[in-house]
Amino acid sequence: MATAFTYNEDLASARNYLRFRIGDTNTTYRRFWDEELDAILVKVSDDVEQARGVCFAIMAQDPDRLMLTKDGTAGAFTLLALMNLYSRRSAEWHAS
């Protein structure tokens, strides 16, 4: 399967808006492939906020996705702190 990462700042597509909402806009340090986001969006009927919660849950469970940040720490955050952050965001989304 071919994999691609695309992002356009116009946010016209659900995928671009989802990338923007989860902070996955840097082509060098991508967290999700287009095909992954498209599959998530299909599962949640293009509901970007639901897809955002799914993405946070995935990132909270998959440290390899977070290691794709520039230095593996995303500035002052440690990997563990990032996983905890995404876990909390996922829990908040599920509670709403």
Taking the complete model, does pTM exceed 0.95, yes or no? no
Element (H, E) at 17: helix 14-22
Higher pLDDT, 68 or 87: 87
Residue 31's Cβ-side half-sphere holds a number of Cα atoms within 13 Å equal to 27
Q: How confident is the model at residue 42 (pLDDT cuts 50, 70, 90)?
A: very high
Query: Please, are residues 79 and 66 in contact by the beta-carbon 8 Å criterion?
Result: yes
Q: How many other β-carbons are positioned within 10 Å of the β-carbon of residue 22?
A: 22
Whether the pLDDT of residue 24 is over 70: the answer is yes
